[in-house]
């Protein structure tokens, strides 16, 4: 292209040559933009800086020791857990979470005593440190953590772990399936936890588009596209790391019969299905949120496991929905948990 320009300078350029140069420039800029959007350079700095990866090479079957002591995993939408000190990433007004509500969140987590906690709607690093401190005062220590922050969205996805993180493949800016000009609203958290016995668990966390929108149909369509993006991400990671147990958690803002949730049931690939677990509370009820706009109880918070983990967990899966009194003060969602092996 540079040689063409030099030759063009020796004589007066024709209109068609000028048009060709302009088209070449536009194509070059578009290509650079696409490469940039798909690169890991788009990953926003995490509150806890961790970008290591000491797993086997891509495509090789991952050796995971036999199932050992059950690990308790819990997911929880902590409803706008905002505290002073976090960097604002959006212009929308927010309110700090009350002291009573923050204490209730810690009480709900303490009731389960999980080894790993997947969080949704946490503000950022300061909020995660605030929650960690409250849990520490209740005798629970989580020295390893990850916060996935994305500019334009104050509600982050995060994880607390009692065990080290062997890998971090999280991406804050993740191109949306079918439309690379748009991205997942809150990215995809993706870390691998390694307990002391050497087992590995890849844990993926998401928070899909809210139902609060001027165009309800457009919001539902976006959730479905986000879910399809997650499904493709899962299919790729399970092809690249066959045999690795995978957990997917998140607030999908959709119930089990909705398209966004159903698309994960097949993993968007016949070779990588995900199974949605069915935790219930002490009364046998499965709802995780009372959705006031529609005056209905809904199950928006889901945990999925892949085939490798499903086999390790066996037929009698231990799981539940927390329904202690503190739940009502903590969040508009109820936490769910399961035991993985």
- Specify the CATH number for the domain of residue 231: 3.60.10.10
Q: Is 189 found in the same domain as 332? A: yes
Domain ranges, residue 316: 45-340
Query: What is the pLDDT at residue 264?
Result: 86
Q: Is residue 77 part of a domain?
A: yes
C-alpha span between 266 and 231 (Å, rounded): 8
> Quick one: 8 and 116 in the same domain?
no
Residue 76: inside a domain, yes or no? yes
- Pair (207, 308) in one structural domain: yes
Report the number of secondary-structure helices (H) and strands (E) in the chain: 8, 16
192 and 315, same domain (yes or no): yes
14/139 same-domain check = no
Task: Give how many domains the chain has, as a whole number.
Answer: 2
State how far the Cα of 226 lies from the Cα of 174, in Å rounded to an integer. 10
- pLDDT per residue as tens digits for the range 6-34: 444 445 656 655 565 565 555 444 434 44
The answer to whether residue 39 is domain-embedded is no
pLDDT at site 34? 41
Q: Does the residue 295 lie in any domain?
A: yes
Q: Is residue 38 part of a domain?
A: no
Domain match, 6 and 125 both: no
CA angle 229, 233, 239 (to 5 degrees): 145
- Residues 203, 143 share a domain: yes
Residue 282 confidence (pLDDT): 96
The pLDDT value recorded for residue 17 is: 57
Looking at residue 5, what is its pLDDT?
44
Q: Do 145 and 135 form a contact (C-beta atoms < 8 A)?
A: no
Let me know whether 104 and 223 are in one domain: yes
Confirm whether 40 is domain-assigned.
Answer: no
Of the CA atoms within 13 Å of residue 249, those in its CB half-sphere come to 26
pLDDT tens digits along 210-220:
988 778 899 99
| Shared-domain flag, residues 217 and 154 | yes
Residue 324 domain flag: yes
- Residue 157 pairs in a beta bridge with 120, 148
Q: Are residues 306 and 172 in the same domain?
A: yes
Query: Cα separation of 283 and 280, whole Å?
Result: 8
Residue 250 domain-assigned (yes or no): yes
| Backbone angles phi and psi of 72, in degrees to 5 | -95, 120
| Residue 31 pLDDT | 38
Whether residues 262 and 190 fall in one domain: yes
Helix, strand or coil, per DSSP, at residue 236:
helix
Distance CA 271, CA 280 (A): 29
- Say what the pLDDT of residue 263 is: 87
Same domain, 27 and 55: no
pLDDT attached to residue 53: 54
pLDDT tens sequence for the chain (341 residues): 444 444 444 456 566 555 655 655 554 444 344 433 333 333 222 223 333 454 555 666 777 777 678 999 999 999 999 999 999 988 888 999 999 999 999 999 999 999 999 999 999 999 999 999 999 999 999 999 999 999 989 999 999 999 999 999 999 999 998 887 899 999 999 999 999 999 999 999 999 999 887 788 999 999 999 999 999 999 999 998 888 999 999 999 999 999 999 988 754 444 457 999 999 999 999 999 988 777 889 999 999 999 999 988 988 889 999 999 999 999 999 999 999 99
Residues in the chain: 341
> Which tens digit of pLDDT belongs to each residue from 255-301?
999 999 998 875 444 445 799 999 999 999 999 998 877 788 999 99
């Amino acid at each position: 292209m540079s040689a063409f320009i030099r030759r063009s300078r020796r004589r007066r350029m024709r209109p068609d040559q000028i048009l060709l140069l302009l088209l070449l420039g536009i194509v070059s800029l578009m290509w650079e933009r696409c490469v940039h959007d798909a690169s890991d350079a788009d990953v926003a700095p995490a509150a806890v800086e961790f970008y290591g990866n000491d797993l086997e090479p891509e495509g090789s079957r991952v050796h995971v020791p036999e199932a050992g002591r059950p690990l308790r995993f819990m997911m929880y939408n902590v409803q706008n857990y905002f505290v002073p000190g976090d960097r604002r990433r959006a212009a929308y007004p927010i309110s700090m979470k009350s002291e009573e509500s923050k204490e209730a969140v810690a009480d709900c987590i303490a009731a389960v005593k999980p080894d790993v906690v997947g969080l949704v709607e946490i503000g950022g690093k300061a909020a995660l440190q605030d929650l960690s401190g409250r849990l520490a005062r209740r005798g629970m220590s989580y020295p390893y953590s990850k916060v996935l922050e994305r500019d334009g969205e104050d509600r982050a996805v995060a994880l607390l772990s009692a065990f080290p993180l062997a890998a971090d493949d999280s991406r804050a800016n993740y191109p949306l399936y079918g439309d690379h000009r748009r991205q997942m609203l809150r990215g995809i958290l993706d870390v691998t936890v390694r307990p002391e016995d050497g087992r590995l668990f890849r844990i993926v966390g998401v928070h899909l588009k809210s139902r609060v929108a001027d165009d309800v149909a457009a919001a539902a369509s976006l959730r479905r596209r986000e879910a399809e993006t997650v499904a493709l991400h899962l299919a790729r990671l399970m092809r690249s790391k066959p045999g690795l147990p995978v957990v997917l958690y998140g607030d999908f803002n959709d119930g089990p019969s909705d398209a966004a949730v159903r698309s994960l049931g097949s993993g968007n690939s016949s070779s990588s299905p995900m199974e949605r677990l069915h935790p219930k509370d002490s009364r046998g009820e499965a709802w995780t949120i009372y959705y006031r706009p529609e005056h209905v109880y809904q199950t928006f918070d889901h945990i999925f496991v892949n085939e490798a983990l499903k086999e390790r967990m066996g037929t009698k899966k231990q799981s539940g929905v927390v329904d202690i009194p503190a739940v009502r003060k903590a969040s508009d969602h109820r936490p769910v948990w399961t035991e993985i092996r």
